[in-house]
Structures are given as C-alpha cells and as structure tokens.
Amino acid sequence: MTTATRGSPRAQRALAFLRRRIVSGEWPVNTRIPTEPELVELIGVGRGTVREAVRTLANLGMLETLVSRGTYVRSRFPVSSVLVDFIAEFDLGEIVGFRRALEVEAAQQAATHRSDADLAALRAALGADVPADVDYPRHVERGRLPGQFHHLLFEATGNRLMISLYGGVMAGLRTAIDRDEIIYGASAEVRRTDHTAILAAVEAGDPVQAAHAMTAHADRDLILPANRAVTAEAQVE
C-alpha cells in the first residue's frame, strides 16, 4: 500500500477529519484520541496517512503523542512554535506568574462575554472533574496539563490572543510538569471547590468575584515545589 503525500486527497481527508473533531470540541482538550487502528477504520485511509496527519497537528501544538500512552488533544487551535520557544527562555517562576495573571484576566472576561454554550461546556467540564476521593496529583497522567475547565474558560472570553497566549504558556510548561519541576498544589476537593466558585461567578456575570475566585485558585494550582508548604498552609486557613 502506498503512503499518501501531504497534499493528496487522502492526506487532506485525514487531516480534516482530525482537525474538525478537535476544533469542534468533540475530542476535548487533554483527552486521548482514538488509537491509530481505530483512526484507520474511521477515516478509511492507511496507517502512514494517519501518522502524517497526527504529526502535522502535533507540530501545530494541537496534539501530543506520549509513548505507550497514546495521543492527546492539547489545544483546539494551532499554537505558535515561535511563541512556545520565546516563553521557554524565561524562568519557570516567571512563566507560572504570567499564567496566573492570564487566568485572572480570563476569568474576568469570561464573566462578561460568556455565552449560554460556554456556560454549558463549563458545567459539563466541572461535572467531569476528578472525584473528590481521588488524590488529584496521582490521578493525573504524567505530562498532562490542567483539564478542560481552564481551556474552556479562556474560550469563553472570546479573546483569540489570550487563547493563543495560554496555549503557548501551557505548551511551555509541559516538560516542567512531566519532570515534577512544576506540581499541583491543590487537592481534588479544593480544586473542585475552586472551580465551582469560579463557575458561579462567571454564571452570575460578576467579573470582580470571578477574578477573586480565580486568584485564590491560581495561587494553589500549578506551583513550584518550593512553594508547597506555603500553599498547604493557605488551604488549611
């Protein structure tokens, strides 16, 4: 069987199939897509064509293939490699601080600009959160980023620049998370409570309260290991 070239009808069909399901949200951010044999069956093309389509979207920052774990959706939109390389030049503490600032602003804008569809998606993501009786950091697969809720919150802003910046920041943090240079500071119970408070403020159209709720959450979400003790004390208080 011959392998389709990138511009061939089969290659274009495979790429369009994958991209359509990612952009539409049918395959949510940080979820695993069907396996290669399944994609071959679904699209009706060869393995080589599927691999090329996956590589193309991985180069765009939309997919990531993890050895022995499968391929995951990382962004609904292309992430600039130039932006990712630029962000990688900064210290992890600076990147985490920038992420915090972005998320607080995103919460404010989402409270102002969210649509009914955005709210429905956020509610669904909240409902799919890790159960409260599960240790969240252990539950999350190595190399995975925060779940759908954060990404959907940015999409609810309607601000394409903020969405792109967030994608670049999270792509830049991926390796650090995989190496435990950045860790999750919040338990599953605290994380769910935080998300519930953020969603309530966004639903109410209250940008001030949304920013307040996100500030509290961001301070104990992705953190440097050296800040673990401070974060734990804040959760107790």
pLDDT tens digit at each of 237 positions of the chain: 444 445 688 889 999 999 999 998 899 888 899 999 999 999 999 999 999 999 999 989 899 998 888 999 988 888 888 888 899 899 999 999 999 999 999 999 999 999 999 999 999 888 766 544 344 444 344 334 456 899 899 999 999 999 989 988 988 888 788 888 998 888 888 988 999 999 999 999 999 999 999 999 999 988 998 865 545 455 545
Flag whether 1 is in a domain: no
Asked if residue 109 and residue 214 are part of one domain, the reply reads: yes
Tokens 């390389």 correspond to 85
Residue 227: its pLDDT value, please? 66
Residue 80: its pLDDT value, please? 84
Is the distance from CB of 47 to CB of 101 less than 8 angstroms?
Answer: no
Asked if residue 62 and residue 15 are part of one domain, the reply reads: yes
Cα within 13 Å of Cα(57), Cβ side:
29
- Output the domain CATH number for residue 94: 1.20.120.530
Q: How many domains does the chain have?
A: 2
Flag whether 35 is in a domain: yes
Asked if residue 215 and residue 99 are part of one domain, the reply reads: yes
Asked if residue 191 and residue 147 are part of one domain, the reply reads: yes
| Distance (Å, whole) CA 39 – CA 154 | 29
Residue 142: its pLDDT value, please? 39
Asked if residue 89 and residue 57 are part of one domain, the reply reads: no
Which range marks the domain in which residue 162 is found?
A: 81-236
Is the distance from CB of 22 to CB of 155 less than 8 angstroms?
Answer: no
- At 146, list the tokens: 């925060």
Flag whether 4 is in a domain: no
Regarding beta strands 222-223 and 63-66, do their DSSP bridges make them parallel or antiparallel, or are they unpaired? Answer: unpaired
Asked if residue 64 and residue 155 are part of one domain, the reply reads: no
Flag whether 56 is in a domain: yes
Flag whether 113 is in a domain: yes
Given 47, 73, 99, the domain boundary residue is 73
Residue 13's CB is within 10 A of a number of other CB atoms, namely 16
Q: Is 98 left (phi over 0), alpha (psi -120 to 50) or beta?
A: alpha
- At 29, list the tokens: 């951010």
Is the distance from CB of 39 to CB of 70 less than 8 angstroms?
Answer: no
Given 28, 54, 73, the domain boundary residue is 73
Asked if residue 86 and residue 67 are part of one domain, the reply reads: no
Asked if residue 66 and residue 154 are part of one domain, the reply reads: no
Given 55, 73, 91, the domain boundary residue is 73
**Which amino acid would we find at residue 44?**
G
Asked if residue 226 and residue 160 are part of one domain, the reply reads: yes
Residue 228: its pLDDT value, please? 58
Asked if residue 88 and residue 47 are part of one domain, the reply reads: no
Residue 234: its pLDDT value, please? 52
Asked if residue 15 and residue 123 are part of one domain, the reply reads: no
Flag whether 180 is in a domain: yes
Asked if residue 161 and residue 216 are part of one domain, the reply reads: yes
Flag whether 3 is in a domain: no
- Output the domain CATH number for residue 45: 1.10.10.10
The number of angstroms, rounded, from the C-alpha of 109 to the middle of its chain's C-alpha atoms is 18
Residue 75: its pLDDT value, please? 86
